Amino acid sequence: MTILFAAPDMDAAQWRARLAALLPNHPFVLLGEPLDPTSVRYVLSWRHPPGALNGMPNLEVIFSLGAGVDHVFVDPSLPDAAIVRVVDPDLRDRMSEWVVMHALIHLRQLRRYERQQREKVWADDEAQPRAAEVQVGVLGLGVLGTDAATKLKALGFKVAGWSATHKVLDGVDSFSGPDGLKRLLALTDMLVVLLPLTPDTRGMLNASLSAQLRQGGPLGGPVLINAGRGGLQVEADIVAALEKGLLEGVSLDVFEREPLPKNSPLWSHPAVYVSPHNAAISEPGAIAAAAARQIQAFEQGEPLQNVVDRARAY
Ligand code: NDP
Ligand code: OXD
């Protein structure tokens, strides 16, 4: 019944203390510590080194310590265990706060008014579009995208979404498939991206996508807001689209390389907002408690929740 902690970037001591309190009868071992591989039944993983989970014949569940599981699938020799991801109301709400904040920043031209304040300029002649004039397109209508779409709708934005399967959401138009994506992009003034990183979605925020967004529009041009994963975007294409005027503004929480390299033009571009992959921090106490609850339920014969579909990779 050993729990193996395979998250080299995280504070192992804190996790050990949490799990010892929650599941005192389950030995907690760190990757690299002496271990009987046949005793490992559960793994807590955040970016575990590829191959590190091999040779554990009784491993049943890999708990991702984040909502995204692309870091798990990086391992080409992933053992055949269930993969469970984080679904947490606190994380969901924080993500929607970040999305709503950036939608409003672009709608209300925050950067312009910050500049005016710095320069002590009193100028109120700029047009102020209403949220109801702005069409938001949300890529990914899962746990996070659905909540963000609903909250943007409540603020008055026109909202549509795109997902692998068709959705029925009050007041939110649903698109799916490649043709649905084209149709959504052609309508969209503000693109919010809450997709997982999979072989199908990698690199899709590229030059071709920017060129398909509705040009002009109430914000003067389309805005891109991505908090899904950096691997979804081609940063050179995003910078080029800004230079060509195909994008008017950009907010990014995630990057091709993290930390974002100091020489990235995104840091200082006047139309770009950068945040350090903290749109929605997973609260470790809540995640540990959820994993412990799942382990207890699983051991009483109940099915696991939030299991990842390996074929879809999310
Ligand atoms: P979900 O699995 O609940 O939702 C994923 C959504 O993406 C679903 O609507 C799914 O469609 C859709 N989707 C997946 N692949 C495709 C595709 N090829 N074409 C069209 N739609 C697709 O995930 P969450 O909402 O919980 O999280 C989304 C992502 O957010 C995570 O994977 C993670 O990368 C990121 N994240 C970022 C954080 C941050 O701090 N920046 C924090 C937490 C998560 P369908 O519903 O039809 O299956
Ligand atoms: C993530 C998370 O997947 O923090 O980025 O949960």
User: What's the average model confidence in pLDDT over 87-112?
Assistant: 97
User: What's the average model confidence in pLDDT over 216-234?
Assistant: 98
Catalytic: 277? Answer: yes
| Beta carbon of 198 within 6 Å of any ligand 1 atom | yes
The CA 232 to ligand 1 mean position distance, Å, reads: 11
| Beta carbon of 66 within 6 Å of any ligand 2 atom | yes
Nearest CA to ligand 1 atom 46: 142
3-state secondary structure of 47: coil
User: What's the average model confidence in pLDDT over 110-137?
Assistant: 96
| Beta carbon of 279 within 6 Å of any ligand 2 atom | no
Nearest CA to ligand 1 atom 23: 142
Crossing angle of helices 284-299 and 12-22, in 10° steps, is: 40
Q: The whole model's pTM is what?
A: 0.97
The CA 140 to ligand 2 mean position distance, Å, reads: 15
Question: What integer best gives the mean pLDDT of the chain?
Answer: 97
Question: Is pLDDT above 90 for 126?
Answer: no
Atom of ligand 1 nearest to the CA of 66: 43
Catalytic: 94? Answer: no
In degrees, to the nearest 5, what angle opens at C-alpha 66 toward C-alphas 65 and 68?
Answer: 135
Record the tokens describing residue 297, joined without a space.
């339920």
- With cut-offs at 50, 70 and 90, classify the pLDDT of residue 92: very high
pLDDT digits (tens, 9 = 90+) for 141-193: 999 999 999 999 999 999 999 999 999 999 999 999 999 999 999 999 999 99
Task: Specify the DSSP class assigned to residue 152.
Answer: H
Atom of ligand 1 nearest to the CA of 314: 2
Q: Tell me the percentage of the chain whose pLDDT exceeds 70.
A: 100
pLDDT digits (tens, 9 = 90+) for 265-299: 999 999 999 999 999 988 899 999 999 999 999 99
Taking a C-beta distance cutoff of 8 angstroms, is the pair 248, 215 a contact? Answer: no
Nearest CA to ligand 2 atom 6: 66
Among 92, 277, 310, 312, the one annotated catalytic: 277
CA distance 10 to 304: 24
Phi/psi at 249 (5° precision): -155, 155
| Helix boundaries (H) for the chain | 12-22, 70-73, 89-107, 110-118, 143-154, 177-187, 207-212, 235-244, 284-299
Name every residue whose Cβ is closer than 8 Å to that of residue 299 and which is 6 or more positions away in sequence: none
pLDDT digits (tens, 9 = 90+) for 197-210: 999 999 999 999 99
Nearest CA to ligand 2 atom 4: 66
Residue ranges and CATH numbers for the domains of the chain are 2-86+282-299 (3.40.50.720), 90-274 (3.40.50.720)
Q: Which ligand is nearest to the CA of 195?
A: 1
| Beta carbon of 254 within 6 Å of any ligand 1 atom | yes
pLDDT score recorded for residue 283: 86
Question: Is pLDDT above 90 for 49?
Answer: yes
Mutate to test the pocket of ligand 2, among 91, 226, 306 (most ligand atoms within 8 A of CB): 91
The CA 205 to ligand 1 mean position distance, Å, reads: 15
Nearest CA to ligand 1 atom 27: 144
